[in-house]
Structure 1
Amino acid sequence: MRLRRLLAGAVGGLAVTELANRALRARAGTLQPALGGDQRTHRWRGFDVAYAEAGDPDAPDVVLLHGVHAAGSSREFADVFDALAEDYHVLAPDLPGFGRTDRPAVAYTSNLYEGFVADFLSEVADDPVVVASSLTGSWAAMAANDADVSGLVLVCPTADTGARRPWVRRLVRTPVVGSGLFNALTSKPALRKFDERDGYYRADRVTDDLVDYQWRTAHQSGARFAPASFAGGFLDPQVDLADELAAVDCPVTLVWGREAKITPLSEGRRLAEEVDARLVVLDDTSLLPHAEQPESFLEAVREELPQLERH
């Protein structure tokens, strides 16, 4: 009898969790575009990849590639997208498994993203300058050795987020329980805490609109699958970032927030010295200087990469 009651309680708990998961997805609704411009779709290996496009098509191309985390999306570039589009032809995709792009329950790996970045730069863009942040910066560096790229602007890039943790990926991908755990980790208070602790230097720059969009994108159907691979360490490329950057045949600029914790400035200085790259340090910013101080970021990019000037 006792075992029966325990089993009944467990089944009941799972049922309640699933109902809560469904209610949260319904409340999140259909995710709206994070950026202005024209909303496009690029078909890639079975994914419908959503991307925003703005600016004169005859102007130099700039591709914006957002970083990877539980609520990642092209929303990361909301404060620089329109300004860049005044002078350039700007393309900003949501990576596979994120934002408004398809999120099937496939095994997301670094190889998948390496292939996507290289193909997007070759098939959709034309010899672009690529702006990429965090882990995505390593995929952009690898792609620059295959695709035609006229410049790299990498924001706090990394190729190493820690050891692989297969059990984490399995747990988060588990039906019902994994969804419930992911929903708890991406509640609005949890997202705000991450932003204030690691993403931004000043808490007042973490707006309600930002947290609300992050919450909505993290509660779309299938939202947990790509972050599960990220949390499990399966998205780290098996390369040395310094070696990749040293091999690229285009200018490289590294942009770092002085107060970054996950990838501290000391790492940026070491990397810049090893590959002889430009290093731009923005004060009073952390992991996302382009989102936290967009005007300073744009000024630094234009000064450090004169090839971005229109010709």
Structure 2
Amino acid sequence: MQVASTTQSDHAAAPRAVTMPPPLAAPRFELADSRCGRITCYGDGPTAPTEQRPLLLIHSVNAAATAYEMKPLFEHYRHTRQVYAFDLPGFGLSDRADRIYTPRIMTDAILLAAKEIRRRHGDTPIDAIALSLSCEFAARAGTEAANLFRTLGLISPTGLDRRAEAAAKKGGDKDATRAMPWLRNIFTVPLWKQRFFSLLTSRASIRFFLRKTFGRKDIDEGLLEYDYITTHQPGAENAPYSFVSGYMFSVHALKLYQALSMPVWMVHGVRGDFVDYQGKHAVEGLPNWQIEVLQTGALPQFEQLDKVVASYDDFQTRAAGA
């Protein structure tokens, strides 16, 4: 497979002033779509042609999310295969427009990036790994355009907890979210909109939330510093306010996971505040799923990268032989 250049996209949007360093030290390009706006992508790989399929990494959603969350995986795989990542709408160097951010917007961004990557690599299906809430978006993309993805990886996915299991039994609108408009209205009152977010994203607050994510006092200090930088940019509060108001959580994420037809790899930890996987029994018996549990928090790529990549590479070998 011939490796394509990643220095600039045909679809690059109008240039703008960069007010912070990029989350990944890699060639950048931009894609634009009327629904998800402008998204900034990063891509790199070995100089020699490789037979491995391109890999797309998708960061999570939180107050400080960027492609930096996938940096350990990006740095590892850039030496052996073409690897891509991007900042989701509302985060990093992508558009941070003041609007309501939804699963539809995030899913469209994933589809936009996946289609561009596939175009660059001879129309071959790609591999993708998503983190946390973005696993729900990736699963939706995988059900809507299964031909784009050869495999799908899920790190610490949301939507497999007790509440998701209960929702699956009740049924209802497949596109329903947990949106609380009243809560977003409170957060976005101009008088305190930015002031409250500044309090939420002080270094002390970010450290507090990262410790809950890692499930221990020791965290990745580089991630902390970049989280602080990205949360102190113009418009940084817009997407997070949709996140904390429930707009980006799908009520029926569990059904999206069950509907995936491609090989699926899932890994999660056992420490911290994000360890409720009571509903995973609904997928762990499916023949296309491989699930790994590690003694980590919700960001295993920062704690046990060697075990994460060993598990994922084993999964890739099995998927290739299936």
TM-score in terms of structure 2 length? 0.79
Equivalent residues of 1:49, 1:93 under 8 A apart: yes
5 Å-filtered alignment, 1:12-161, equals: 30-45=19-34, 47-56=37-46, 59-125=52-118, 126-147=124-145, 148-159=148-159
Aligned residues: 277
Deviations 1:210-261 (A, max 9, x none): 21110111111111111101100011124342x2223222101111112253
Deviation, structure 1 residue 195: 0.4
Deviation, structure 1 residue 121: 1.4
Deviations 1:119-142 (A, max 9, x none): 321233451111001111011111
Question: Which of 219, 222, 229 in structure 1 is aligned with 2:232?
Answer: 219
Deviations 1:139-192 (A, max 9, x none): 111111233101011012123799432222122222240110011011110000
Equivalent residues of 1:66, 1:77 under 8 A apart: yes
| Distance in 1 of aligned mates of 2:125 and 2:84 | 12
Q: Does residue 263 of structure 2 align to residue 251 of structure 1?
A: yes
Equivalent residues of 1:156, 1:268 under 8 A apart: no
Question: Which of 205, 208, 219 in structure 2 is aligned with 1:193?
Answer: 208
Provide the residue aligned with 2:198 in structure 1: 183
SS of equivalent to 1:158: coil
Equivalent residues of 1:254, 1:272 under 8 A apart: no
Deviation, structure 1 residue 64: 0.4
Deviation, structure 1 residue 116: 1.8
Deviation, structure 1 residue 201: 3.0
| Distance in 1 of aligned mates of 2:256 and 2:228 | 34
| Distance in 1 of aligned mates of 2:32 and 2:305 | 31
Equivalent residues of 2:264, 2:290 under 8 A apart: yes
| Distance in 2 of aligned mates of 1:216 and 1:133 | 21
SS of equivalent to 2:149: coil
What is the root-mean-square deviation in Å for CA atoms of aligned residues?
2.3
Deviation, structure 1 residue 308: 7.7
Equivalent residues of 2:262, 2:288 under 8 A apart: no
Provide the residue aligned with 1:173 in structure 2: 188
| Distance in 2 of aligned mates of 1:133 and 1:110 | 14
Provide the residue aligned with 1:20 in structure 2: none
User: For the pair shown, which has the larger CA radius of gyration, 1 or 2?
Assistant: 1
Q: Give the counterpart letter for 1:196 in structure 2.
A: R
| Distance in 1 of aligned mates of 2:270 and 2:285 | 17
Q: Give the counterpart letter for 1:120 in structure 2.
A: A
Deviations 1:80-122 (A, max 9, x none): 2121111211110000000111101122112211222223212
In structure 2, relative to structure 1, the CA distance for the partners of 1:194 and 1:275 (3 Å cut) is: farther
In structure 2, relative to structure 1, the CA distance for the partners of 1:228 and 1:151 (3 Å cut) is: same
Higher-helix-fraction structure: 1
Provide the residue aligned with 2:220 in structure 1: 206
| Distance in 2 of aligned mates of 1:180 and 1:290 | 33
Q: Which runs of 5+ in 1 are unaligned?
A: 1-28
Provide the residue aligned with 2:7 in structure 1: none
Provide the residue aligned with 2:4 in structure 1: none
Provide the residue aligned with 1:303 in structure 2: 314
TM-score in terms of structure 1 length? 0.82
| Distance in 2 of aligned mates of 1:233 and 1:50 | 25
Provide the residue aligned with 2:5 in structure 1: none
